[in-house]
Amino acid sequence: LDSAYLDVAGFRAGLFYSWWDDGLSGETDDIGSVVTLHNSIRYQYESGTFYAGLSVDELEDGVYQGTFTPGVIPGTTDFTADDGPNNVGVAFGVGGKAGAFSYQVTGGWDVDNEDGAIRAMGTVDIGPGTLGLAGVYSSGPNSYYSSAEWAIAAEYAIKATDKLKITPGVQYYGNYFGGGTEVPEDFDGLGDAWKAGLTVDYQIVDNFYAKASVQWLDPEDGDDTTTGYFRLQRSF
């Protein structure tokens, strides 16, 4: 089930995506939660292009802190969780648009892990494309952001033609951990990382699109990797 919720006078209750699901338009930025679909109760005020809201989220599928120790088999590690799932969090979102500039500020506090994160994003139309910038800070690994202690991301989405969009992007991580739901208690001792990539979107015909993405990640504490995909998408 993708989402199921009830909206009444600014209140929303049910299963839906949080503000942390939002991101820049390309595929390079890594500035969201591991899981962004929650059972939540939210109130969002809207006036024109401005909105501000507060939500209480069930973080049952979120991340949980613990301790990593050497495993019985050489080269492996065991994880002992401080606390299991069935967590709760409180998040806020503020955003809007002013002319060619769009912005969003999002924050969240993970109650069980006792850590939180805050993120700011902005986009502005410049020349033949849209420049996007984002920054995120996490006080410690938590369900709202756990990839790194902090990160900054940038992209430029070039509208080459009416049907073709080309988006190069780059991101720098400070104290990079990566993904997964099992996380350390803090980011101390972790190395930094770079990420760069390219996303290409092409409209083949009305409501039928192709997307290709190639991403390169180079962490200080591990080997660099290159990933990518090609996807055909139909809109109805």
Q: What is the mean pLDDT of the chain?
A: 93
pLDDT in tens, 104-154: 999 999 998 899 999 999 999 999 999 999 999 999 999 999 999 999 999
pLDDT in tens, 3-50: 999 999 999 999 999 999 999 999 999 999 999 999 999 999 999 999
pLDDT at residue 1 is higher than 90: no
Tokens 């009416």 belong to 162
Looking at the chain, the whole-number percentage of residues with pLDDT higher than 90 is 81
Amino acid at 168: P
pLDDT at residue 221 is higher than 80: yes
pLDDT in tens, 210-219: 999 999 999 9
Give the predicted TM-score (pTM) of the model. Answer: 0.90
pLDDT at residue 86 is higher than 90: no
Q: What is the CATH number of the domain that holds 182?
A: 2.40.160.10
Strand ranges (E), the chain: 4-8, 11-17, 37-47, 50-58, 64-70, 77-81, 88-98, 101-110, 115-126, 129-138, 148-159, 164-176, 182-184, 193-205, 208-219, 225-234
Q: How many domains does the chain fold into?
A: 1
pLDDT at 181: 79
Structural domain range at position 191: 4-234
10, 14, 15, 17: CA torsion to nearest 10:
20
Report the distance separating Cα 203 and Cα 231, nearest Å: 12
